[in-house]
Amino acid sequence: MPVPVRADLAELPDYIIPSQVPGAILLNSNEAPLPPPPSVVEAITRAAAEGHRYPMWFSDALVSRLAERLGVPEPWITVGCGSVSLCQQLIQAFCAPGDEVVCAWRSFEAYPVFASVAGVAVRAVPLDAEHRHDLDAMLAAITPATRVVFVCNPNNPTGTAVGSDALLRFLDKVPSDVLVILDEAYGEFVTDPDVPDGIPLALEHENIAVLRTFSKAYGLAGVRIGYCVAAPPVTAAAAKVGVPFAVSRLAQAAALAALAHGDEVRQRCEVVVRERERVHAALLATGHQLPPSQANFLWLPLGERSAEFSGHCADHGVMVRAFASDGVRVTVGSPEENNAFLRAAQSFATARRIRQVL
């Protein structure tokens, strides 16, 4: 007789793993188009030579460097195995069975998965007509059972962002005993001056936690490291439920080395932003409708045509990410990769126009 598995696991949504087809152009995982700088690779290699030793439990050296860089006290920072791990830790630390998590939908698909795994109910609030968080509706969804609210800004997968005034009005109305998690995984790609930096807000509100990652702008997606900035009781609670030694010696060394290349990171982000705007304009010219993005990806709200579009791109050697019947997310890659995607998008639009005529 097999060992019984939790009955509710069958109802949990799966976290979809993007395909990694050999030889294809991978624009389906929001990865950086360039590898880490050589000095970061060297730091990882040196750390690997000490792989028989456990890493620092609390990533002390990295926390100290981040505190200096961000201008916050060290107790306000905790490090995790990517910001996604910190999402799970915060739910575990602040929610119990019977509690609720509020998030937008469609937003980062890990939020409802982690909540459900913890036995916590999820209130998913649809995005507004412009594919942004509907903060008024999210506020209305908060109940006495709500313990955590996620605001992904810029939002994954739509790339849209909420501005300072709207976010501040929202934060002022959220009950003080509800933790608001500002997920800023794509913050380095923001160019709109109206999109706020969450860290000053966290320093002013004891119920705000800001998540950031080295996976995107720093090009360390395969290394797995991110951090949280929040009041010390929040960071301490998140650290308490973390897996011991989850942040490897290699990850800590990589992050420390990457922080020494701030100028190069900014330059790389500027290149991504220029490509993002170029691809956005080209898609509009092709006839596609899509919102402006503040991230390193673009969102095509194709609805029922999403699977068809992603399949068409795959046939042309480009992997993009389809989200059921909602839309398609396309990572901004190198200029050559983006050109290949645009050719696929153009041929899709052309083929569709021909079918309509026939």
Show the domains of the chain with their CATH numbers.
7-34+263-357 (3.90.1150.10), 38-259 (3.40.640.10)
More confident site: 17 or 313: 313
Banded model confidence at residue 16, pLDDT cuts 50, 70, 90:
confident
The pTM score is 0.96
pLDDT digits (tens, 9 = 90+) for 166-216: 999 999 999 999 999 999 999 999 999 999 999 999 999 999 999 999 999
Q: Give the 3-state DSSP-derived string for the chain, with helices as H, strands as E and coil as C.
A: CCCCCCHHHHHCCCCCCCCCCCCCEECCCCCCCCCCCHHHHHHHHHHHCCCCCCCCCCCHHHHHHHHHHHCCCHHHEEEECCHHHHHHHHHHHHCCCCCEEEEEECCCCHHHHHHHHCCCEEEEEECCCCCCCCHHHHHHHCCCCEEEEEEECCCCCCCCCCCHHHHHHHHHHCCCCCEEEEECCCHHHCCCCCCCCHHHHHHHCCCEEEEEECCCCCCCCCCCCEEEECCHHHHHHHHHCCCCCCCCHHHHHHHHHHHCCHHHHHHHHHHHHHHHHHHHHHHHHHCCCCCCCCCCEEEECCHHHHHHHHHHHHHCCEECEEECCCEEEEECCCHHHHHHHHHHHHHHHHHHHHHHHC
pLDDT in tens, 224-278: 999 999 999 999 999 999 999 999 999 999 999 999 999 999 999 999 999 999 9
pLDDT at res. 353: 59
pLDDT at residue 357 in the model: 47
pLDDT over threshold 80, residue 26: yes
